[in-house]
Amino acid sequence: MIAIEARELRKTFPVRRGEPVEAVAGISFAVEAGERLAYIGPNGAGKSTSIKMLTGILHPTSGDAAVLGIVPWKKRRELAARIGTLFGQRSQLWYQLTPRQTFGLLGRIYRIPADQERRRLARLGELLDATHLFHQPVRSLSLGQRMRCELVASMLHAPEVLFLDEPTIGLDLVAKARFRDLIVRINEEQGTTILLTSHDVSDIEQVARRVIVINHGRLIYDDRVSVMRRALLGTKMLDVRFEQPPASVEVEGARLVKLSGAGAKLVVDTGRRPIRSVLDDLLDRYDVVDISVADPPLEEIVSHIYARPV
Amino acid sequence: MNPYLAGWRLGFLRTIRSPGDMSVRIGFFAIILLVMTALWTAAVDANGGSLHGYTRTSLLWYVFAAQTAVLGVRPRSVEEIGDEIGSGTVAVQMLRPVSVVGLRMSIDTGEACARLIASFTVGALITWLFVGAPPSLPALALAAPAVVLGCAANIASCHAFGGIAFWLLDAKASWFFFQKLVFLPGGMLIPLELLPRPLELISFALPFATMAYVPGRIASGHPDPLLLLWQLGWLAVLLGMAGAVFAAGERRLQVMGG
Amino acid sequence: MTAVAATLRTAIANGLANRNSFWFQVSLMVANDITWIIFWVLFFHQVGNLRGWDAHDVIVLFSILLTTAGVALGLCANSRKIGQLSADGALDETLTLPVPPLAHLLSTRVDAANTGDLLLGPVVFLLAGNPSPERAAMFLFGVVAGSVVLIGFLVACGSLTLFVGGRGEQADLGFNAILIFASYPLDLFGGATKMLLFTAVPAAFVTGVPARLVRNFDTPEALLMVAVAALFALIGWGTFHLGLRHYSSGSIWIR
């Protein structure tokens, strides 16, 4: 079943002086129910604008979309009852009150029967390890703790789709990793479709199975994360340690990137020469103590994608 | 360029370049003049054409000049100064080799000058339309520097009051009282001669009268240069106070932390 | 309890959460209001009577203004912020909820300082307004209807930002205009201005007509108040909803 569908979505903003800005320039994609999709792009790429059209906040200039079969900007309230949102830079929690008080209000807003609200809170609190935070004033919570409660708030009404817009902004590394893990847990346990926008590439690595890359308002890549890694850069990274610091390292098919003391980093163009023969060559000609072969970092892959002509 | 002059220029240009903001303030000013004209016309008519020597015309020119001088200052200035102190912005500004309060006042004065040019000309036109020519053209001319001096005194005062935030972390209370002090004993709402005698005397003893009453008095047909001297005197005192409050506050920051 | 009522209750709880801060701001506002009363007392001390109005009449007018402003700016504090919220993209959180957006926005923020007006207004009326049951009933009626007019007007002004851009400056001007005019006796103003106050800038219906009703109940005038309140409610609601189609949610930084 298709949970989210966009067809040639376009959004142009009129600007007081000058050319109108085309934030989203014709985007089309479809998301199956239960998928975890990362929607990434550099700042100003059109990510937030896309999400806002899909959640009914913005009316598109042209194009179509349906979320759970509903056109977002036409039946906004009906859709709102079935989706959840988490905008990293905005809070749903009332600052001076406890998260529990906000949850109570949300229960009224989403018309959740009291006993069901209690049960869901217990379950979510346990799942997200946040129960002990429910009765502390929001202003006293750390950002990481607050984000966990925000996630509870977004999930309270058991939405079928969860939209997250830059949710890990401002979190430290540990909190980020933890948060990503929680999103995966929600998806696996509750079957919620996840659409996550980010400009942090680690969000793809840890959360998503599928990635859409958008730049200048256009969709420039749409595939599984694993495929992206493999298909896009025909390179491997070699990290080598030698017995003695070599004078130089020259191997056909490999390019020396860094040489410091007895260690060296090389990049192999596997299109030109298979990695196996490069390794054989290296081991034959040099005294190698240790060697590791790795994929290029995802950052590099993504930058490569951004740089593609649109 | 001297940093304070540069600050003045920055404030001036910044304000000139926001015509939207300016037109709203002028609209606001026009409304006040309209309402004040209605109020004081009725008041003067009900009292045989004159109130303590003020005729309808001289009274409205008083209102014009007094309001212009006060509206030259950004409305929430005291509160903003308090917020900047409370948020630590001032602490960062202290790292620069200029006087924080001096630079701030220069920028505010630049802004005020831009605003005053617009308010004075447009306000004078509107007042002329409503009640006719001013009682004395030389008086109106002298009112211009009086308005600037009144505004400058206001700005210095805002900084002295806003500096309370170094101790209280919040200048909201300061701002409220300050505004009321300019409204009543400052003579913005009502010429001081119309107050009961004891209040009138107290008002003349306070510096707030130089911020609104003096420009108003001059514009109402009393081009007395001594009034300008009075303003200059208080301006010097208020500048000193602002400087002292900020110096003490900054010392406190350095000792207690931001 | 409906979503909107629950939201208002939460907003009040949020505003009261820091008791000290709340009462501090209330007392500042009360002090501010008392200054205005002092001004009027001093003014009439000097001027005497003003086209049939004396200090007492104006203070009753003022009590109506305080209470009405208290409802519109204290309880429904977002009514004057629609312009700013639109420009800042802050309507998002409301638009992602299954609630009527305008009702939610108006119930989601309570301003402590203006709540001071709401508390002081009725007190001033009780002290200075010769409160008989009839006069009190008219006071209440006038305040409720007047609040609807004021809120509708402010929302309409703020919604203009959705159409023309900017940061809500039009709303500020509208806000200042209506409150200034509403602070002064209607009879001060002549022809053209008076007509303005009964139409485009409905200050007459915020304080002037309610004050008249308190003095003398008059059925046609009461019905007029109801009609005008309904009209401005519709204007506010309509402008806002039409404007939502143009909402750009802060996605565009160049404006």
The pLDDT tens digits for A247-302 are 888 888 888 888 888 899 988 887 788 888 889 998 999 999 999 988 777 667 77
Mutation to test the C interface, candidates A52, A73, A76, A94, most C Cβ within 10 Å:
A52
- pLDDT mean over C172-190: 91
| Cα A243 to Cα A240, A262, B101, distances in angstroms | 10, 7, 65
Tens-digit pLDDT string for chain B (258 aa)? 788 899 999 999 988 888 777 888 888 888 999 999 999 999 999 898 899 999 999 999 999 999 999 988 887 788 788 888 877 788 778 878 888 888 999 999 999 999 999 999 999 999 999 899 999 999 999 999 999 999 999 999 999 888 888 887 667 777 778 888 999 999 999 999 999 999 999 999 999 999 999 999 999 999 999 999 999 999 999 999 999 999 888 888 777 665
Residues of chain A positioned with their CB less than 8 A from the CB of C92: 52, 57, 87, 90
Structural tokens at position A162? 């969860």
**Tens digits of residue pLDDT in A201-221:** 778 778 999 999 888 888 988
Mutation to test the C interface, candidates A58, A97, A139, A157, most C Cβ within 10 Å:
A58
The HSE-up count of residue B42 (CA atoms within 13 Å, CB side) is 21
Residues of chain B positioned with their CB less than 8 A from the CB of C24: 173
Distance of residue A262 Cα from the nearest chain C Cα, in angstroms = 51
> Which pLDDT score, from 0 to 100, does residue C252 have?
52
| Maximum Cα–Cα distance across chain B | 63
**Tens digits of residue pLDDT in A115-174:** 999 999 999 999 888 999 999 999 999 988 999 999 999 999 999 999 999 888 888 888
- Residue pair C65/C150 in contact (Cβ under 8 Å)? The answer is no
Residue C198's Cβ-count burial label (10 Å; 0-12, 13-18, 19+) is middle
Among the partner-chain residues C24, C38, C47, the one whose CB lies closest to the CB of B47 is: C47
- Which residues of C, range 78-97, sit inside 8 Å of A by Cβ? 90-93, 95-97
* Percentage of residues of chain A with pLDDT beyond 90: 49
CB atoms near residue A248 (< 10 Å): 7
In which band, very low, low, confident or very high, does the pLDDT at C254 lie, cut at 50, 70 and 90?
A: very low
Nearest C-alpha neighbor of A267 from the set A243, A297, A235, A295:
A235
Phi/psi of residue C182, nearest 5 degrees: -70, -15
- pLDDT mean over C208-230: 94
> Which pLDDT score, from 0 to 100, does residue C167 have?
74
Distance of residue C214 Cα from the nearest chain B Cα, in angstroms = 23
Q: Taking 90 as the threshold, does the pLDDT of residue A16 lie above it?
A: no
Structural tokens at position A238? 């070699």
Among the partner-chain residues C28, C42, C184, the one whose CB lies closest to the CB of B39 is: C184
The set of long-range contacts for A248-253, using a CB threshold of 8 Å and a minimum separation of 24, is A249/A286, A251/A278, A251/A281, A251/A282, A251/A285, A252/A278, A252/A281, A253/A277, A253/A278, A253/A281
- Residue pair A124/A130 in contact (Cβ under 8 Å)? The answer is yes
- pLDDT mean over C239-254: 77
Output the pTM of the full model: 0.85
What is the rounded distance in angstroms from the CA atom of residue B115 to the CA atom of residue B104?
17
In which band, very low, low, confident or very high, does the pLDDT at A233 lie, cut at 50, 70 and 90?
A: low
Any CB–CB contact under 8 A between C7 and chain A? yes
Pairing of strands A161-165, A83-87: parallel
Burial B58-80 (b: 16+ CB within 10 A, else e): bbbbbbbbbbbbbbbbbeebbbb
| Contact yes or no for C14 and A13 at CB 8 A | no
Among the partner-chain residues A48, A57, A101, the one whose CB lies closest to the CB of C13 is: A101
Q: CA end-to-end span of chain A, whole Å?
A: 30
Least confident of A94-108, B24-38, B223-237, C241-255: C241-255
**Tens digits of residue pLDDT in C37-48:** 999 999 999 888
Any CB–CB contact under 8 A between B20 and chain C? yes
What is the rounded distance in angstroms from the CA atom of residue A47 to the CA atom of residue A53?
10
CB atoms near residue A32 (< 10 Å): 12
> Which pLDDT score, from 0 to 100, does residue C255 have?
32
What is the rounded distance in angstroms from the CA atom of residue B99 to the CA atom of residue B246?
9
Bridge partners of A288? A242
Residues of chain C positioned with their CB less than 8 A from the CB of B190: 39, 42-43, 46
Looking at per-residue pLDDT, the higher value among A46 and C7 belongs to: C7
